[in-house]
Amino acid sequence: MQKKRVLGYLGLSLAFNLCIPAAAAAGEAYPVKPIRFVVPYPPGGPTDLMARLLQPGMQARLGVPVVVENRAGAGGNIGSDAVAKALPDGYTILLAASGPMAVNPTLYKHLPYNPLTDLAPVIQLSAFPLVLEVNAASPVKDIKSFIAAVKNKPGEYSFASAGNGTPQHLVGELFNSAASTKMQHVAYKGAGPALNDLLGSQVPVMFDIMASSLTYIKAGKLRPLAVTTKTRVPALPDVPTLAEAGMPGFDFVAWHGIAVPAATPHPVVLRLNSVINAIFADPEFRKRWEAIGTPVVGGTPEAFGALVRSETGRLGKIVRDTGATVD
């Protein structure tokens, strides 16, 4: 009798333990272990900065460690592909950037993942202006003199970017097309290394997401010439738009969000979405977020999914029209 009772307990225990992963996968007990937060770029850039700003609030609300993991390379493709192929259980999430989500499907001939089918949208995080900037020691003082200098020396100017397919790359190609200039693209492995060379005058100009450059601009180390949005931005009210410089209709922002593997259960997606929206509702956090140069966005998974689909078409067209290529 005792043996039967022990076996019965063991059977119940085994059945209970087997149910735990299924319950977690269905979102009923999620989360119960650490979450990997994959950033597809090196430390120091705006994508990495957003993940590290979000990390403490996510840990507090989810009750488990959230570990930021930088998996850089191939214009964000390596980290994005790693998440696309991860177990769809909510324990691997992606800081999704507009490059690997909407530009790279057109820019790369053989992308190892499909953002529209292999990744599920969770929430939009940002809508960053980009700033056209030079080293403070540059003789170029404003956008009009910059355009004139580049036209006087076709092919001699180069612009740095955070990598192939990044917003910094694409907006530079769009500028070349709109201004009829011929600057050469220099791809770096992330915004941090590109900025280091701009600060060291190894490269003359960069279009950068405001989050990673604003500190250097405020410190007088970089000189902003123009912003890429259709209206001036509050953080740099004296800096003109490219539309004001004779490029009517020029409007380009870099956006980011969170995505998970496509088969992730919907309750898990909704849990992550609600956590980020709750973080964004905190007035003190909103101040820190807006201080890096982007408004708080948030919203539903469906809204972020609609953005990814529409931007895949729009940015893909810019890639084709400008002839942007992977160097």
For residue range 131-157, list pLDDT tens digits in order.
Answer: 999 999 999 999 999 999 999 988 889
Asked whether residue 11 is assigned to any structural domain, the reply reads no
Asked whether residue 89 is assigned to any structural domain, the reply reads yes
Domain containing 46 equals 32-127+254-322
Which tokens sit at 99?
Answer: 């490059």
Residue 273 pLDDT > 60: yes
Residue 327 banded pLDDT, cuts 50, 70, 90? low
Residues 184 and 222 in one domain: yes
Asked whether residue 182 is assigned to any structural domain, the reply reads yes
pLDDT (tens digit per residue) in 275-296: 999 999 999 999 999 888 888 9
Helix 167-179 and helix 301-322: axis angle, to 10°? 50
As a whole-number percent, the residues of the chain with pLDDT over 70 amount to: 91
Query: pTM (2 decimals)?
Result: 0.82
Residue 28 banded pLDDT, cuts 50, 70, 90? low
Asked whether residue 43 is assigned to any structural domain, the reply reads yes
Q: Indicate the number of domains in the chain.
A: 2
Q: How far apart are CA 11 and CA 16, in angstroms?
A: 9
Asked whether residue 213 is assigned to any structural domain, the reply reads yes
Residues 123 and 175 in one domain: no
Residues 261 and 197 in one domain: no
Residue 5 pLDDT > 50: no
pLDDT of residue 291: 85
CATH number at residue 272: 3.40.190.150
Residues 146 and 220 in one domain: yes
How far CA 286 is from CA of 41, 210, 279, 283, 318, in Å, comes to 24, 17, 8, 5, 32
CATH number at residue 211: 3.40.190.10
Residue 46 banded pLDDT, cuts 50, 70, 90? confident
Q: How far apart are CA 57 and CA 102, in angstroms?
A: 28
Residues 199 and 59 in one domain: no
Residue 259 pLDDT > 70: yes
Residues 213 and 296 in one domain: no
pLDDT (tens digit per residue) in 223-243: 999 999 999 988 899 999 999
Residues 141 and 175 in one domain: yes
133 touches 213 (CB < 8 A) = yes
